[in-house]
Structure 1
Amino acid sequence: MSVTIKDIAVCAGVSYSMVSRALNGSGSVEEKKKEKILKIARALEYVPNQAAVTLKKSRSNIIGLCFSTISRSTSPFVLHNVLIGVNSVIGSKYHVIVKCMDMHEPGTLNRSNFDGLLIMSQGDWDGEFIEEAWEKKIPMVAISRRVSKDIPAVVTDEQGGMEKAMEHLLKNGHRKIGVIEGDPDLEATLLRHEGFNRAAKRWGLDAGSIPVEYGNYRYNSGRLAAGRLLDNHKELTALLCFNDEMAAGAANAAAERGLKVPEDISLTGFDNLDISGYADMRLTTVERNATRIAVEGTKMLLTYMEEGIRPEDVWLENRLVERESVKNRICMEQPQDK
Structure 2
Amino acid sequence: MSTVSYVLNDSGPVAPDRRTRVLDAVRVLEYSPNESARNLKRRSASRIGMVVPDLTNQFFAMITEGVHQAASARDVLVVLVVPGSSEQSEEAQTRLLRSQRVDGVIYLTSTGSMPEACYELARSGPVVLVDEQIPGIDLPAVVCDSRRGARQVAQHVLDKGHRDVAIIGGPEGLWTAQQRLAGYREALAGAGIDPDTVPVYYGDYQQSSGRDMAERALAAQTRPTALICANDLMAVGAMEYCREQGLRMPEDVSIVGFDDLPLSSLLTPRLTTVRQPARDMGYRAATVLFDLIENRTPEPMDPLPTTLQDRSSVCTISGSVNE
TM-score range, shorter chain: 0.7 to 0.9
Question: Residue 76 of structure 2 aligns with which residue?
Answer: 94
Give 2:19's match in structure 1, choosing from 34, 52, 61: 34
Larger Rg: 1
1:281-316, CA deviations, whole angstroms, 9 ceiling, x for partnerless residues? 311111122111112222222233235233322321
Separation in 2, partners of 1:24, 1:146 = 40
Give 1:48's match in structure 2, choosing from 32, 35, 42: 32
Question: SS state of the match for residue 252, structure 1?
Answer: helix
Equivalent AA in structure 1 for residue 32 of structure 2: P
Question: SS state of the match for residue 198, structure 1?
Answer: helix
Matched, 1:212 2:194: no
Matched, 1:272 2:260: yes
Question: Residue 209 of structure 2 aligns with which residue?
Answer: 221
Contact 2:36 2:46 in 1 (8 A): yes
TM-score (norm 2): 0.81
Q: CA deviation at 1:158?
A: 1.6
Matched, 1:171 2:154: no
Q: CA deviation at 1:212?
A: 2.7
Equivalent AA in structure 2 for residue 194 of structure 1: A
Matched, 1:190 2:178: yes
Equivalent AA in structure 1 for residue 126 of structure 2: P
Alignment of 1:275-286 (within 5 A): 275=263, 279-286=267-274
TM-score (norm 1): 0.77
Equivalent AA in structure 2 for residue 81 of structure 1: M
Separation in 1, partners of 2:321, 2:5 = 77
Equivalent AA in structure 2 for residue 289 of structure 1: P
Separation in 1, partners of 2:199, 2:139 = 38
Question: Residue 78 of structure 1 aligns with which residue?
Answer: 59
Cα 1:83–1:46, aligned 2, differ >3 Å: closer, same or farther?
farther
Matched, 1:104 2:91: yes
Question: SS state of the match for residue 241, structure 2?
Answer: helix
Counting matched residue pairs gives 311
Separation in 2, partners of 1:326, 1:204 = 20
Separation in 2, partners of 1:54, 1:241 = 45
Cα 1:139–1:329, aligned 2, differ >3 Å: closer, same or farther?
same
Structure 1 runs not aligned, ≥5 long: 1-15
Separation in 2, partners of 1:149, 1:202 = 32
Alignment of 1:230-309 (within 5 A): 230-233=218-221, 235-275=223-263, 279-306=267-294, 308-309=296-297
Separation in 2, partners of 1:126, 1:149 = 9
Q: How well do the aligned residues superpose, as a CA RMSD in angstroms? A: 3.5
Cα 1:47–1:176, aligned 2, differ >3 Å: closer, same or farther?
farther
